Amino acid sequence: MDDQVVFWAPDDSGLQVLKDAMPEGVEIDWVNSSASLEESAEALQNTKAIILGGALAFDLDLAAKCPELRLIQTTSAGTNQLDKAALGELGIKVSNNGGGNAVAVAEHTIALMIGVYRKLQLQFKNVQDGKWMSNIRAEWFSQAHELTGKTVGIIGVGRIGSRVAKRLQGWECGLIYHDVVDPDSELVSDLCMEKVELDELLATSDIITLHVPLNRNTRGMISDREFDLMKPTAILINACRGPVVDEDAFIRAIEQDKIMAAGVDVLEIEPTPEDNPLIGMDNVLITPHLAAFTQEASEKSRAFATYNTAKVVNGGDPESVVLPDDSIIVN
């Protein structure tokens, strides 16, 4: 196959929209990600860049048989399924979606905050079951709060975390943050954020919201010790990656009233088992990893993927390269 960019996916259902978005002069075609190693290697001999169709891994043995391959491009923010260090040794870079879904996830994050405070999942269920308000006011009034004026602790202020902070300004929230990477000082000033140590953030925040990549440093970063530091009135929001939170510790924290409630878009195992205790907890709002589920996010992510892969085909350096430690080079 002579196509310089390949859409690597189990089916070709997303190919046409990528073709429509691809800059003129750059060809893209589909290669079945379920094909054998030999078939795939033959199909990818002249391929310079690959766009992944979903959260797919890419076999290192196959990567070693692709002499022209320079970039694996995701349409998601997460790249933890790819061995970036090993791919780098083969001269292959990995890029994420360049913040294409950042607005969608930021908006969903705030929706989770409001949903948790107003117990929206219980309200919806009661109406659907014909119970109207029933016992909600009597049983849950102590957990009903306004978002305005709350102290929000943002862990990770990259593309998504910074957009959460920007939107929370309209709610007159106090914003504190913790990040291992120092964000732009002008951004911090503009958003009126204060940097604090992680333990202080956990101990003083009304709302703790997570926006970090999943890697060896962040896996299980919120566990029993961290829950013990939180206020009993705190709520936890997670719209990044499920394994960032130790789920057993999370369950204990809810059962033992270490925190008041939580709203999550991600869990350790997805789809989560039907017997997961979190599903039956009325003070835990769970959405099925659809925070980026908008037309606009898909369009922006596709546009960046085609732009970035075309840039590599034309001899340029890719943007939004994710390093093995999950830091991002923004060109």
The predicted-structure confidence for 86-126, as pLDDT tens digits, reads as follows 999 999 999 999 999 999 999 999 999 999 999 999 999 99
Instruction: Parse the chain into domains and list their residue ranges.
Output: 5-100+295-329, 102-286
Second-level CATH architecture of 102-286: 3-Layer(aba) Sandwich (3.40)
- pLDDT of residue 3 exceeding 70, the answer is no
Note whether 209 and 230 are within 8 A (CB): no
In the annotation, is 252 catalytic?
no
CATH of domain 5-100+295-329: 3.40.50.720
- pLDDT of residue 269 exceeding 90, the answer is yes
Position 184 confidence tier, pLDDT thresholds 50, 70, 90: confident
**pLDDT at position 61:** 97
**pLDDT at position 327:** 62
- Taking alpha carbons only, the member of 51, 47, 1 closest to residue 21 is 51
In the annotation, is 163 catalytic?
no
**pLDDT at position 55:** 87
Convert the pLDDT of each residue in 129-147 to its tens digit: 999 999 999 999 999 999 9
Note whether 112 and 264 are within 8 A (CB): yes
What is the percentage of the chain residues whose pLDDT exceeds 90?
A: 92
Q: How far apart are CA 112 and CA 108, in angstroms?
A: 6
CB atoms within 10 A of CB 319: 17
Q: How far apart are CA 109 and CA 99, in angstroms?
A: 15
Average pLDDT rounded to a whole number, residues 44-52: 96
Sequence-separated (6 or more) residues with CB below 8 Å from residue 71? 48, 49, 50, 92, 93, 94, 95, 308, 309, 312, 318
In the annotation, is 145 catalytic?
no
**pLDDT at position 205:** 98
Prediction pTM value: 0.92
CA 153 to the chain's CA centroid: 17
Residue from 38, 270, 296, 299 carrying the catalytic annotation:
270
Convert the pLDDT of each residue in 63-85 to its tens digit: 999 999 999 999 999 898 999 99
**pLDDT at position 324:** 87
Residue from 118, 159, 163, 289 carrying the catalytic annotation:
289
**pLDDT at position 106:** 98
Convert the pLDDT of each residue in 292-319 to its tens digit: 999 999 999 999 999 999 999 999 999 9
**pLDDT at position 328:** 61
Alpha-helical (H) ranges within the chain are 15-21, 37-43, 60-63, 84-89, 102-118, 120-128, 136-140, 159-168, 185-190, 198-204, 224-229, 247-255, 295-313
Position 252 confidence tier, pLDDT thresholds 50, 70, 90: very high
Tokens linked to 271: 């789809």
Average pLDDT rounded to a whole number, residues 181-205: 94
What is the percentage of the chain residues whose pLDDT exceeds 70?
A: 97
Q: Judge if 5-100+295-329 and 102-286 fold alike in CATH terms.
A: yes
**pLDDT at position 280:** 96
Q: How far apart are CA 258 and CA 229, in angstroms?
A: 9
Average pLDDT rounded to a whole number, residues 13-36: 95
**pLDDT at position 64:** 97
- pLDDT of residue 326 exceeding 70, the answer is no
By mean pLDDT, which of 32-36, 70-74, 185-189, 305-309 is the weakest? 185-189
Average pLDDT over the chain, rounded to an integer: 95
- pLDDT of residue 1 exceeding 80, the answer is no
Average pLDDT rounded to a whole number, residues 5-23: 95
**pLDDT at position 54:** 87
Q: How far apart are CA 105 and CA 211, in angstroms?
A: 10
Residue from 145, 163, 241, 302 carrying the catalytic annotation:
241
CB atoms within 10 A of CB 279: 12
- Taking alpha carbons only, the member of 102, 97, 163 closest to residue 328 is 97
Note whether 87 and 60 are within 8 A (CB): yes
Convert the pLDDT of each residue in 203-249 to its tens digit: 999 999 999 999 889 999 999 999 999 999 999 999 999 999 999 99
Characterize 36-50 residue by residue with b for buried, 16 or more Cβ atoms within 10 angstroms of its Cβ, and e for exposed: eeeebbebbeebbbb
